[in-house]
């Protein structure tokens, strides 16, 4: 979400085919801690269309008032309804958009897949966050797509707290089945590779322990995975679960994790995006908190680079390399916004500083590892150095255009310093991995 105001911003999930909700008030006039705006995710037939920030009043917004505020979403709804073969609405009212009394094509397709779609495995790597993991598992249990199981990998745990939490959770839930694994060596890529050994599904859907998945998350992944020949990877929409602090707001300005509301299929064979830095900028198509792979393809590629990711000297980049290698290997990556997860941003500035630094290190490590794994990419990468530099520091570049006045210069310096450290960090991480794997 971009263009957020200062202060807390409550989140609303609005289905436009149902009666619109009442949006809470801004609180007493003159209040300094009450929200002045609300953030709304707008859906139609459960599919995300857009998100908007609306101003709040002391009396709140009644459904009729909200309908008046949301007039700009009607063209998006019309396009969706046209694809579904349904009549366009005359206008948005407090009752929402009329559904014409028929099941939309998109939901017909979903019902078919939920009954006959491929078996999938959800893979979660976790590190010393049992409470957060349980929250994630609770959301996974509410998935509408039921043809799946779960693998949890406990990465370099400091205690048995996560093991006990998973056992207690499974005892209270008949579905889904959860396989618990322990990986003593640190690093999220190592944890994912450990989990890959236990995957039973033809597709593996990977998420993090600090997210809550939408009930239609796995449905969206399966829809995209079966949308055409050659699909090897699916990424999805990542939205903030809350934006209540300045640090959370700054993370959204930094770029956040959302990548838009239109499905996109990209490859090297006729479906290149309008991006001069493609395929190196795969981060514009998704990230590790929400990605899925054809299991056979991921195994064929050797899984994830164990010298990368959170928990290693490289700090990150494992997800980007995996996405890149799907594309350079001749397969198609599909970005599907219906595959939605809600991410809990760290609330404090110190955590944000570490995150931005680690992002920079991980980006540098990723670009280095791309050449290690795909040496043929080096000439293409060298030719794009100037464009890449503009992407990183240009004020109007796609990366920086959402930063508001007052965005800390310190964070930009920290990120670039991390980027410069990335190649050496990757080399150190490879050496460390070889040493601990002897």
Do 193 and 269 lie in a common domain? Answer: yes
Residue 231 included in any domain: yes
Do 211 and 254 lie in a common domain? Answer: yes
pLDDT along the chain (438 residues), means of 10: 66 93 67 75 96 87 92 90 85 83 89 95 98 98 98 98 98 97 97 98 98 98 96 98 91 90 95 93 96 98 97 97 98 98 95 97 98 96 93 84 88 96 98 88
Output the six-digit token pair for 148: 């799946």
Do 280 and 161 lie in a common domain? Answer: yes
Do 305 and 217 lie in a common domain? Answer: yes
Residue 232 included in any domain: yes
Residue 95 included in any domain: yes
Question: What pLDDT shows up at residue 17?
Answer: 92
Residue 96 included in any domain: yes
Residue 3 included in any domain: no
The closest of 4, 11, 53 to 406, measured between CA atoms, is 4
- Residue pair 130/144 in contact (Cβ under 8 Å)? The answer is no
Question: What pLDDT shows up at residue 31?
Answer: 46
Do 189 and 257 lie in a common domain? Answer: yes
Do 165 and 220 lie in a common domain? Answer: yes
Between the CA of residue 363 and those of 108, 233, 237, 411, what are the distances in Å? 41, 20, 20, 15
Give start and end residues of each alpha helix (H) in 63-129. Answer: 63-69, 74-83, 105-116
Question: What pLDDT shows up at residue 255?
Answer: 85
How many domains does the chain divide into?
3
Do 58 and 148 lie in a common domain? Answer: no
Do 93 and 114 lie in a common domain? Answer: no
Do 90 and 116 lie in a common domain? Answer: no
Do 154 and 287 lie in a common domain? Answer: yes
Question: What pLDDT shows up at residue 3?
Answer: 57
Question: What pLDDT shows up at residue 365?
Answer: 98
Domain holding 20, by residue range, is 11-102
Q: Which phi and psi (to 5°) does residue 169 adopt?
A: -65, -45
pTM here? Answer: 0.94
Do 338 and 379 lie in a common domain? Answer: no
Residue 6 included in any domain: no
Q: Which of 56, 84, 102 is the C-terminal boundary of a domain?
A: 102
Question: What pLDDT shows up at residue 26?
Answer: 58
Q: In the 8-state DSSP scheme, what is residue 43? A: E
Q: What is the C-alpha separation between 296 and 201, in angstroms, rounded?
A: 10
Residue 359 included in any domain: no
Do 329 and 247 lie in a common domain? Answer: yes
Q: Which of 347, 382, 400 is the C-terminal boundary of a domain?
A: 347
Question: What pLDDT shows up at residue 1?
Answer: 47
- Residue pair 163/128 in contact (Cβ under 8 Å)? The answer is no
């Amino acid at each position: 979400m971009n263009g957020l105001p200062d202060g807390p911003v409550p989140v609303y999930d609005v289905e436009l085919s149902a009666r619109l909700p009442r949006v809470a008030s801004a609180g007493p006039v003159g209040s300094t801690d009450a929200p002045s705006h609300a953030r709304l995710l707008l859906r139609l037939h459960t599919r995300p269309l857009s998100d908007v920030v609306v101003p709040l009043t002391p009396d709140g917004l009644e459904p009729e008032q909200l309908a008046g505020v949301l007039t700009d979403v009607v063209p998006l709804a019309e396009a969706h309804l046209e694809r579904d073969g349904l009549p366009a609405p005359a206008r948005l009212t407090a009752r929402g958009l009329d559904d014409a009394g028929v099941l939309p094509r998109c939901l017909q397709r979903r019902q078919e897949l939920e009954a006959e779609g491929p078996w999938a495995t959800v893979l979660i790597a976790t590190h010393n966050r049992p409470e957060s993991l349980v929250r994630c598992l609770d959301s996974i249990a509410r998935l509408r797509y039921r043809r799946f199981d779960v693998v949890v990998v406990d990465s370099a745990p400091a205690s048995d707290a996560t093991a006990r939490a998973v056992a207690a959770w499974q005892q209270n839930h008949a579905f889904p089945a959860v396989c618990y694994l322990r990986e003593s060596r640190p690093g999220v890529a190592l944890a994912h590779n450990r989990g890959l050994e236990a995957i039973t599904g033809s597709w593996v859907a990977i998420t993090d322990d600090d997210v809550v998945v939408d009930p239609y998350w796995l449905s969206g992944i399966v829809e995209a995975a079966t949308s055409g020949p050659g699909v090897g990877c699916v990424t999805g929409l990542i939205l903030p679960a809350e934006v209540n602090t300045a640090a959370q707001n700054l993370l959204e300005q930094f770029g956040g994790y959302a990548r838009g509301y239109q499905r996109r299929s990209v490859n090297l064979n006729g479906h290149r995006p309008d991006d001069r830095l493609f395929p190196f900028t795969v981060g514009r198509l998704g990230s590790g908190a929400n990605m899925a792979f054809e299991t056979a393809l991921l195994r064929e590629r050797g899984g994830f680079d164990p010298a990368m990711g959170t928990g290693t000297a490289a700090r990150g980049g494992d997800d980007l390399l995996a996405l890149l290698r799907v594309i350079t290997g001749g397969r198609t990556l599909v970005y599907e916004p219906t595959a939605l997860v809600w991410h809990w941003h760290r609330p404090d500035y110190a955590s944000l500083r570490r995150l931005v630094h680690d992002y920079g290190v991980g980006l540098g490590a990723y670009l280095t590892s791309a050449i290690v794994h795909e040496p043929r990419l080096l000439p293409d990468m060298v030719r794009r150095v100037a464009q890449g530099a503009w992407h990183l520091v240009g004020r109007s570049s796609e990366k920086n255009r959402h930063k508001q006045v007052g965005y800390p210069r310190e964070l930009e310096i920290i990120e670039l310093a991390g980027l410069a450290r990335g190649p050496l960090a990757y080399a150190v991480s490879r050496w460390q991995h070889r040493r601990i794997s002897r």
